[in-house]
Amino acid sequence: MHEAELRPYIEACQLGERRAQRFIFERYYRLMFGVCLRYMSDQDSVQDVVQEGFLKVFNNIEGYTFKGSFEGWMRRIMVNTAIDAIRRRNAAGWVLGDEGSFEPVDQDEGWEMEEEEGETFTVHDVLDAMEHLTPMYRAVFNLHVFDNLGHQEIADRLGISVGTSKSNLAKARRNLRNLLLTRKGKDHHVE
Amino acid sequence: MSSEHPFDEQLKNAFQGFEPDVHANWMEFESSLEKPSPSAGTDASGMSRWAVAAAVIAGGAFMWVAKPTVEEWLVDDVNSMEFVSMEGEGAQSFDQLWEDFASVTEDFVSDVLNAEGEAALAELGAEAADSPLESVTNPTSGSVSVNAPTSDGATAKSRDNAAETSVSNKLPSEERLLAELPFDASVREACEGVEVAFELSGLDRSMSFLWNFGDGHFSSDPAPRHVFNRPGTYDITLSIRPPGDGMIRTRTIQNMITVLPKPEAQFGWVFPASVSGKKVRVHLQDQTPDATATQWVVDGQSTRDNRVQLEVPGVYPVNLVASNKYGCLDDAKHEIRLGDRNGILAQARFSPNGDGHYDTFMPHSLLDMEDAWEMVIVDRDGQEVYRTSDASEPWDGELPDGTLAADRSVFQWTVRCVANDGVIRLFTDRLRVER
């Protein structure tokens, strides 16, 4: 369904129309579940986050002005909700990543192109590997790679420095890569 | 900013179109949603006091300002909903309705100007506002407002959840009626094109009524029936003026009527290029966008099969009843016309022997037919032996192998016509060769 075809449903949601809300909910639930699943693995937690995210979507939908993609707008709400949930859950130990290491890390550190050429990973491979990342690594990686945030935005969002964001990204990427290749039968060290 | 790292791209590819197999449990989610609330209002008791006081101060001047204010309000409603104009069929002009509704009689002016004293009224108004009976607290049921000018000339109009009551010597039940305006509709959710009836509980037909249906149409009928022809959610506003009472009470129930879209049932059909025998196999084609279920009714017989056998000649009414995901229905109706040689002035036999009499075959009606047409002739085995769309090229009995059709052999011709308006017809019959 194109965004233009979606417009009447969004407008009806802005009027509080239940059927339209249901349409949007059912149309996007699985997609948004997939978005949140990248940030946390526990299905019950993801479900809670998605529900909370949709509540925010409908409570704030009057603020959506049809500038930019509606799906992108919803996705940002879901990601923010997921990040908030992770922070709440890890209130004491949120900074489980590389906070403290302010040395910029070469983003291509340890990258060996030849080894990955031709390798394909399934969603489940990647999700399994992500489970082994710390919440901070995972959040930084997802925000940068999948949700297209720059390091400054990530730093602002997560309350870390830009250097830490870069460092965490590089390490998250390296760990993910090694985890995935290990599962493919190749021996790699995971930090 | 997007990542351009090759590894990242591999992972993004893995997630392309990823939607986990989970169930979107709307029922559970809906329970966590807040109930729809009307637009924010003002403090109920305070507003009530202001409205009552304003009514007393301004008295008869009310009519000078109430009309444009309410009219503007109503027009705003219409504009915001982007619905049909008031010029639509059956719509009365607002001015005309308003004049009927708010016509000022001598009695009316007298009643207003001789209303109770300001202090007494304010006191009564305060009591009314404080009374549970006078308060409308249901957030989905709208509110009552009393239109009256304030001391600075503006019109007091509240659309909050509280009731402003007029102050007059009404019976308690009537007072409550005026305060709450408990109107309702026969249905709250209807498919477009379905008539909805509105009525005020405890209706007193001696009052003047003005209903705004939120779609650009109004009625001054006490208990009107209205057909909504566009899907959407409509705010319904009722304004009433009791006889001998200067106050016009209005109440808007926001999102009161939800009109669901109905499908636009459409269908066509396809005839075979050629026919063998007296029955034509017609392929019905449902062209309804967004239909979730369809039912055919062919010549009075209900069927779900879209391939039907129809005997020639005959005129067959065909209905398609389509429903959409909202459960709304629509139907489309056409007639399928199947004719034999009598319908197209075709001979039953011809004699391709060169004697100048009936040497060729061409239905007479095709000679001057304006429709696009095509004629196909098949042998007893259904094999095509001749095809033309040119009336100047009748069949002369020659077969595809160059021989002439044998004496007493039987063929079947079929003519399909398509009129400029898209209506298609079929004629078919047998043709016997006699040398």
Scored b (16 or more CB within 10 A) or e, A7-29 reads: eebbbbbebbbbbbbbbbbeebb
Q: Coil, strand, or helix at residue B143?
A: strand
Minimal-distance CA residue of chain A relative to B232: A12
pTM over 0.80: no
Compare CB distances from A121 to B11, B30, B326 and report the shortest one's residue.
B11
- The CA-CA-CA angle for residues A56, A60, A65, to 5°, reads 135
CB contact under 8 A, B10 and A116: yes
List of chain A residues whose C-beta atoms are within 8 Å of the C-beta of residue B33:
18, 21, 55, 58
pLDDT in tens, A134-155: 888 999 999 999 998 999 999 9
In chain B, the percentage of residues whose pLDDT exceeds 90 is 36
Minimal-distance CA residue of chain B relative to A152: B1
| Stretch B247-273: mean pLDDT | 90
CA distance B160 to B163: 8
List of chain B residues whose C-beta atoms are within 8 Å of the C-beta of residue A146:
11-12, 15
Scored b (16 or more CB within 10 A) or e, B338-373 reads: bbbbebbebeeebbbeeeeeeeebbbebbeeeebeb
CA distance B130 to B48: 9
**Residue pointed to by tokens 């990342």:** A133
| Stretch B42-65: mean pLDDT | 32
List of chain A residues whose C-beta atoms are within 8 Å of the C-beta of residue B31:
none
CA distance B289 to A134: 49
List of chain B residues whose C-beta atoms are within 8 Å of the C-beta of residue A120:
10, 13-14
| Stretch B82-107: mean pLDDT | 45
State the fold for domain B342-433. Immunoglobulin-like (2.60.40)
| Stretch B36-55: mean pLDDT | 34
State the fold for domain B267-339. Immunoglobulin-like (2.60.40)
Chain A nearest C-alpha distance from B221 (Å): 28
Is residue B27 less than 8 Å (CB to CB) from chain A?
no
- The CA-CA-CA angle for residues B194, B197, B202, to 5°, reads 170
CA distance B164 to B333: 53
Compare CB distances from B29 to A31, A51, A123 and report the shortest one's residue.
A51
Is residue B8 less than 8 Å (CB to CB) from chain A?
yes
What was the pLDDT predicted at B144? 52
CA distance B175 to B173: 5
- Kindly tell me if the per-residue pLDDT of B178 is higher than 80: no
Give the orientation angle of helix A70-89 with respect to helix A18-37, to 10 degrees.
Answer: 60
Scored b (16 or more CB within 10 A) or e, B20-32 reads: beeebebeebeee
What was the pLDDT predicted at B202? 79
In eight-state DSSP terms, residue B280 is E
CB contact under 8 A, B14 and A107: no
CB contact under 8 A, A34 and B13: no
Architecture of the domain defined by B182-260 = Sandwich (2.60)
**B249 phi/psi in degrees, rounded to 5:** -100, 140
- Kindly tell me if the per-residue pLDDT of B63 is higher than 80: no
What was the pLDDT predicted at A185? 67
Compare CB distances from A149 to B1, B18, B32 and report the shortest one's residue.
B1
CB contact under 8 A, B15 and A122: no
Compare CB distances from A119 to B10, B233, B258 and report the shortest one's residue.
B10
Compare CB distances from B33 to A33, A58, A123 and report the shortest one's residue.
A58
Flag residues of chain A having pLDDT under 70: 1, 90-119, 185-191
What was the pLDDT predicted at B212? 87
pLDDT in tens, B144-155: 554 433 333 333
Structural domain spans, chain B: 6-178, 182-260, 267-339, 342-433
Amino acid at position B373, single letter: W
Chain A nearest C-alpha distance from B262 (Å): 15
Minimal-distance CA residue of chain B relative to A58: B33
- The CA-CA-CA angle for residues B238, B243, B246, to 5°, reads 75
- Kindly tell me if the per-residue pLDDT of B126 is higher than 50: no
* Joined tokens for residue B285: 């084609």
The DSSP-derived string for B319-340 is EEEEE-TT--EEEEEEEEEEE-
- In 3D space, the residue among B231, B289, B228 whose CA is nearest the CA of residue B261 turns out to be B231
Chosen for mutation from B22, B235, B290 (greatest number of chain A CBs closer than 10 Å) is B22
The answer to whether B267-339 and B342-433 have equal CATH topology is yes
CB contact under 8 A, A121 and B10: yes
* Joined tokens for residue A190: 């995971």
List of chain A residues whose C-beta atoms are within 8 Å of the C-beta of residue B1:
144, 148-150, 153
B54-63, B210-219, B268-277, B281-290: the lowest-pLDDT one: B54-63
CA distances from B348 to A70, B7, B226, B374 (A): 67, 78, 58, 19
Most confidently modeled of A50-54, B47-51, B173-177? Answer: A50-54
List of chain B residues whose C-beta atoms are within 8 Å of the C-beta of residue A173:
5, 7-8
CB contact under 8 A, B34 and A59: yes
- The CA-CA-CA angle for residues B202, B204, B207, to 5°, reads 140
Compare CB distances from A123 to B15, B34, B258 and report the shortest one's residue.
B15
CB contact under 8 A, A30 and B32: no
CA distance A96 to A138: 10
Q: How high does pLDDT run on average in chain B?
A: 72
CB contact under 8 A, B7 and A148: no
CB contacts < 8 A (A, B): 96
Compare CB distances from B14 to A18, A58, A121 and report the shortest one's residue.
A121
Instruction: With beta carbons less than 8 A apart as the criterion, state whether B263 and B287 touch.
Output: no
What was the pLDDT predicted at A67? 86
